[in-house]
Structure formats: structure tokens, C-alpha cells
Structure 1
Amino acid sequence: MRRTTSTMLRRVLSASVAAVLVTGGLLAVAPAASADVTYVPEKWNGKVVYLSQACHDRGDTVCHDNTGCSGFSENRNSYLLAMSTIRETGTSHPNLLERGYKVVRGDGLTRQNIDSSNRVGADVHVPLHSNAISKACESGFSASRYGTHAMYVSTAGRECSQKLLSAVGPSSPGTNDARQYRTDLGELNQTNAVACYLEQEFHVWNRGVYWMWNRDAWSWRIAAGIDAYLGYP
């Protein structure tokens, strides 16, 4: 049921602005320590959702970025998608705050986000990413080469991934929507919360990029998938 309440935002930022570095010719950002932002609804349903922004730290201490067609930035898009999922109000579908969820948005290194998710006692942990099948923008392939993927490692994560896939997949332009079992990702293996890892679409084809840029039209689907998995508390 939609909760049309005003929301209170509480920022939990304990470090200074991140430094910008250039390594190997690629833009990389050193995130602030323990950089979480917590969003609290006026009427809390008792559940905590952790949205983990993309950070490809590659074992070092900076967030490297993946880029796609037309200058698409996976890291930037992950932040904007998280914000839209949390509080976008331009559609007739409720966002996470309107559904009554406390949301913690993690924008640190992968290890920091895992530790933060465990510390806040999240009920579900959802990394927000986009996918790639090549290093450069592609053309000439059919839509069946692309689509929405949801990854999991646990039995509960499998169910959560299916809910996300069922909610988001029909909206994305790629037709190869898939649920995938993965054992090599820390954000699936090391969180106390049930983890379901969303690859919203592929950023190496223009239709996928344009759809992802129009996030405010469909981000409610992520909220709907999470709500369905948690049983509409």
C-alpha cells in the first residue's frame, strides 16, 4: 500500500570530501571513510534496505569507474539510480521511503559498504551496477545480447534476485534477462543481510544507456521488487 507521507532525511557523513585521483589515465575517486547516508521515513515499517553504490576499487583504495556509450559513467549512474529509488516522486508508484523503508546508501569502497551494511543490520543488501560485454560501445547486435541480470549466492538471495528481475527486467530494452548464481563477489558472500546484486542493463549499447539515463521513469521497479521480497511490511 502506498504511503504518501513526507520524509525526513538524516545525513550520516563522518569524513571529509573525497579526493580525486588519476591513475593509469582513468579517473578514480578516493571515497571518504564510512561514507553512508541514511534516509528515514516518517513512518518506518521496521525494515532496513542497504543500497550499495558501484565502486570498482580493484583491491586498492580508490573507486575506479567503468564507462560506456555516450560518456555513460557506471559509478555516477549508480548514485543517481540510488537517489531515484529512494525518493523519486515524479511517478504514481511509491519509492522506498514512501513504502516505509529506512534506507542506507553506501558510497564507500566495497569493503566499507559490506561492513556498513552489517553494522546497520540491513534486511536486504542491493548493489546497483550496470553491465558490460565489451570494452567499447557496440552496435549492430540484437537486443537478445543484453538485458537485466540479478545475481545471488544464497537461497534467500535467489528469491530476492527473482523479485528484482521480475520487476525491472520487463522495462529494460535488452531481452536476455537472467538470474545468475555467483560465488566470487564479496557483496554476495560477506553480508549478513540477504544480498541480491542488480546489473540493471548493459552500458555498452545505446538503447541500454538511454534507458538507464531515464531512471526516474522506472526506478520504482527496484523498490517494488524489494517490497515484494520483504513481503510488503
Structure 2
Amino acid sequence: MRATSRRLLSCLTALVLVAGGLLAVAPTASADVTYVPENWNGKVVYLSQACHDRGDTICRTNTGCRGFSENGNSYKVAVSAATQYDPEHMNLLERGYKVVRGNGLTRTNIANSNRAGADLHLPIHSNAVSNACEKGHSPERYGTHVMYVSKAGKECAGIMRWRVGASSPGTNDARQYRTDLGELNQTNAVACYLEQEYHVWDQGVSWMLDRGAWTWRIALSVDVFLGYP
């Protein structure tokens, strides 16, 4: 199936499920989108787009070099990881996963992930060490960080750090134990929280914007962690 159905699946972006039950009105966000593969492997991956709502009803974004938007990039990375066609690498749909893309408030994404029965909850973010576009620092200041709270989340974070971090320009790749994030503590699914790179240096932004070259690594990491179901 993987060899013969790749082009069909990569073009499959029909929305077959709209999740309801929003906990609050979010003017800058809309309902979840679900992508169903032709041959489902029984696993659900919830890609939670960045929404810095600060406990209210509006999704704000963080900005970086050249006007980079963390929220806008998060949306594009989620779509790419789910559906991007690459002649040499498979996306999540091609690997047989049902993908739910959450683009609401943080607490809404948590509730919808639990409602969807997700097997893996993956928030997609980018990182910062300041509020400015930095100049003159070495790559050791930046890199791919993946956060976790559970034992299984630690395993997922390690796989993601290694496979995504191998492509990112920063060299300070790490997995981090965190206990203060709702998307790690409040999901029924195993959660690992991806900070792709830092958006406060130009090389990091350039890499993140070249999504077609690396988002397949997210799909591969998921497949490795879940055991190629």
C-alpha cells in the first residue's frame, strides 16, 4: 500500500470530521480538522497548533526574525507533516495515521485531543531566548528542544530530538522534563512538545520556513515511537 498509494494519500486533504465543543469563542482560530488515510493503522495523532491565549479567548503569536509568526508557522508545519508529498519520504497520512489538527485555544486542543482518543499529542512550537532577532551568536545557543513529563513522553521526546534535531541548524538539541505545561499534564495521550528551533536567529527561521525539506522527520519520529503500526 505504501508504494502504490503515496500520491493519492498525499493529495487527500478532505476534511471528514469537525470537532465541536469549543470551550470558548476564539476569533483567530477555527474547529479541528481531521485527515483520514485510505488504510488506517488504528492510531490517532493529534497535532496541536500553537495558540498563546494566556487563559482568555484570543490566540496571540510570538514573532521572530523577518516577521516570522510562531502560530502561522505551526499551522503550516502541521499541514506539511500530515500531507506534504515527498518522493523519498512519507508523511503521516501515507504512514497510515489518522491525523487531527487542532487549531483552537490551548485548553480546547487538550479537550479535543482527549475526545478524539489520540495515541500521541504533539504540540508544535518554536523557541526564543529574547524578544529580538539576535545577531552574532554561535549555533550552540540554539537547536531543537522537545519537552515531556511522562516516561513514554521522554521516549518520544528523545526520538523527536534526535531525528528532527539532526536537520535543524542549531546544535544545542535537547529533551526537557517539564511539569508546568497543560499540554503535557492534561492529555490522555502520551505527549511530547516540539520546539522545532529558535525563531530569534536567521538560520533557524530559514530552516523552519523550508518545511518541505524536513517535516517528514516528524512523521518518521511518530512512526518510530509508535512502532510502525
TM-score norm. by structure 1 comes to 0.90
Give the letter aligned to residue 196 of structure 1.
C
Distance in 2 (CA, whole Å) between partners of 1:209 and 1:14 is 32
Distance in 1 (CA, whole Å) between partners of 2:143 and 2:75 is 20
Aligned to 1:56: 52
Residues 115-160 of structure 1, C-alpha deviations (whole Å, 9 max, x = no match): 0000010000000000000001000000000000000000000001
How do 1:14-93 residues align onto structure 2 when only pairs under 5 Å count? 29-32=27-30, 35-93=31-89
How do 1:1-233 residues align onto structure 2 when only pairs under 5 Å count? 2-5=2-5, 6-7=8-9, 8=12, 9-13=14-18, 29-32=27-30, 35-233=31-229
Give the letter aligned to residue 199 of structure 2.
H
Distance 1:189 1:69, change over 3 A: same
Q: Which has the higher strand share?
A: 1
Distance in 1 (CA, whole Å) between partners of 2:3 and 2:226 is 16
Give the letter aligned to residue 29 of structure 2.
P
Distance 1:125 1:166, change over 3 A: same
* CA-CA distance at 1:11 after TM superposition: 4.2
* CA-CA distance at 1:13 after TM superposition: 3.7
Distance in 2 (CA, whole Å) between partners of 1:170 and 1:4 is 29
Secondary structure class of the residue paired with 1:128: strand
Distance 1:215 1:42, change over 3 A: same
* CA-CA distance at 1:166 after TM superposition: 1.2
Give the letter aligned to residue 96 of structure 1.
L
Gaps of 5+ in 1: 16-27
User: Does the CA-based 8 Å contact 2:19-2:33 persist in structure 1?
Assistant: no
Residues 52-90 of structure 1, C-alpha deviations (whole Å, 9 max, x = no match): 000000011100110000010000000000011001103
Distance in 2 (CA, whole Å) between partners of 1:124 and 1:106 is 13
Distance in 1 (CA, whole Å) between partners of 2:51 and 2:87 is 29
Aligned to 1:19: none
